[in-house]
Amino acid sequence: MSATKSTRKTYKAPLPGEEIVISGIAGRFPDSNNVEEFKNNLMSKKDLVTDDDRRWKLDHPDIPQRTGKINDVNKFDALFFGVHFKQAHTMDPMCRMLLEHAYEAVVDAGINPKQLRGSRIGVFVGACFSESEKTWFYEKLQVNGFGITGCSRAMLANRISYWLGVTGPSYTLDSACSSSLVALEHAYRCLIDGQCEGAIVGGSNLCLHPYVSLQFSRLGVLSPDGRSKVFDIDADGYARSETISVIYLQKAKNAKRIYATLVYGKTNCDGYKEQGITFPSSKMQSKLMKECYADCNLSPNDLSYLECHGTGTKVGDPEELYAIETAICKERTNPLLIGAVKSNMGHSEPASGLCQVVKVIGAMETGLIPPNLHYNRPREGLKALEDGRLKVVTELTPWNGGYVGINSFGFGGANCHIILKSYTKNKINNAAPTDDLPRLVTVSGRTEESIKVFLDDIEKHPVDTEYIRLLHDIYSDDIQGHLYRGFTIVGSKTSERSIRETENYLGAARPIWFVFSGMGSQWPGMGMYYINFHNKIKK
């Protein structure tokens, strides 16, 4: 009790506008090229773990063939990110993709990356193993030195800071499976303490080398059939999976869009355990959750959903559910809905925490909790499941939002718990304009095709003045490396077809070619000569 009282003093409810919010999200997930695809796949109960040979062709009895795989690992726009081609070829794919999704998360928050240069933005990345460094450090006959800067885990965060030109804290954390959620907690603390004014939080995991999977298999944590049967009586381990995900945090008063409020986050460690370092501790997990809600003066009844760590291992699930039972269920008057995204996509290890966050944000946006897969009968001896105090979500479940808890536990005993709150905002008239004026929307991109895709997406949706304002904030200034610009006019009542144009932009300043002063220099017939090329003037 004394520990709880002492920790309470460290939490102070933020003033209005000072709340820490998630304002940008991006990433790619197993067979999901972006957040929207991932959300739709979760909602449709798609099993994102596959048994194809995209990563390796090795028939080994101890290596499960089913893993969750992301797409386009081999692609990277080095020129856009200012990376020398020699460096790009010896750069860890995790580093390349974190750069891409950091850019996307910043833009998703309605921010032009140029606006961040010189600001105290922190970068916090959760990562563990690099399964590509062996290729560049130990197998290549030609060593050019770029392997050091390409495969150092420090560079996962530092290169993002370098490219954006931001000066806040920048480091990579490794607490095993809880790495990305611990990175999120670190970012939260730095924002609260004033060490940075915004934060980029990333998580990365790739399964590129079969013998890393062999190590996990012989540790006894992988499911032989490659299915994460979380909370089920047949649970026998998890499927390994890949993810690269990034979110952007800032204070509510500075945010242009808000996905969720990050209410609180806290970590602890199991310490010594007689059963061994990898054995989870329900006692310390329970202690962490109790302290989190006591610190915030939240009642267990305030929690509307809990996204569990939920690996599907024989030891991990019972320990976690017992911790939830003792920390939360004893004081609840209604069942607590629980789930675990690992049942849908496998375990992306250090990146798994951000997968949980993205799943929860998808539920907040849609008002529907995605269902768990591979759950048929509850594990025996788990009283809270058997008597209904805990209820696993197995079908799309309507949800009114509220407070959400997220658990993430590392195999070395590093535990993290995060509390999110759904953001409720009523758009007046669904942000439709109150007039019939047409709106000009300008965008830029690397290719002409990207402009076309972007404009097509804008035109197929009803006019949303808030979204248009967000786009104006991003594209009103140049984004270095964007070679094409385009525009469309939406909401026009004078034309049934869309009015749009795309043009290559080389960045060169154009000379002045027409001047009209408008100050007493007019006379009848002036400008008649220019009618001959009025189409050019019109353009």
- Tell me how many degrees the CA angle 426-251-407 measures, rounded to the nearest 5: 85
User: Is 60 exceeded by the pLDDT of residue 141?
Assistant: no
User: 10 Å Cβ neighbour count for 536?
Assistant: 10
Single out the catalytic residue among 209, 309, 374, 417: 309
Q: How far apart are CA 267 and CA 535, in angstroms?
A: 65
- State the Rg of the chain over Cα: 26
Distances (CA, A) of 312 to 102, 205, 228: 31, 19, 5
Name every residue whose Cβ is closer than 8 Å to that of residue 454 and which is 6 or more positions away in sequence.
443, 445, 486
Residues 390-402 pLDDT 10s: 999 999 999 999 9
User: Which of the four pLDDT bands, split at 50, 70 and 90, describes residue 514?
Assistant: confident
Which of 310, 336, 337 has the alpha carbon at shortest distance from 408?
Answer: 310
Confidence band, pLDDT 50/70/90 cuts, at residue 534: low
pLDDT of res. 437 = 85
Determine the pLDDT at residue 354. 99
Read off the pLDDT of residues 27-39 as tens digits, 9 standing for 90 and up. 999 999 999 999 9
pTM of the predicted model, to two decimals? 0.91
For residue 496 the two structure tokens come to 């049934």
Contact (Cβ atoms closer than 8 angstroms) between residue 97 and residue 27: no
pLDDT at 530: 65
pLDDT band for position 3 (cuts 50, 70, 90): very low
Catalytic option among 95, 128, 151, 177: 177
**Average pLDDT of every residue of the chain:** 92
State yes or no: pLDDT of 417 exceeds 70: yes
Distances (CA, A) of 189 to 250, 413, 426: 12, 21, 30
For 44-68, how does the pLDDT look when each residue is reduced to its tens digit (9 = 90+)?
999 999 999 888 888 898 999 999 9
**Is 177 a known active-site residue?**
yes
Judged against a pLDDT cut of 60, whether residue 1 lies above it is answered with no
Position 161 pLDDT exceeds 80? yes
Paired strand residues for 404 = 305, 420
**How large a percentage of the chain has pLDDT more than 90?**
77
Neighbour order of strands in the sheet with 121-126: 170-173, 121-126, 198-205, 243-251, 20-28, 260-269, 414-422, 403-409, 303-307, 336-339, 390-392
Tokens 């939830």 sit at which residue?
Answer: 324
Locate 34 and state its tokens.
């972006």
Looking at residue 217, its pLDDT comes to 95
- Phi and psi at residue 366, to the nearest 5°: -95, -20
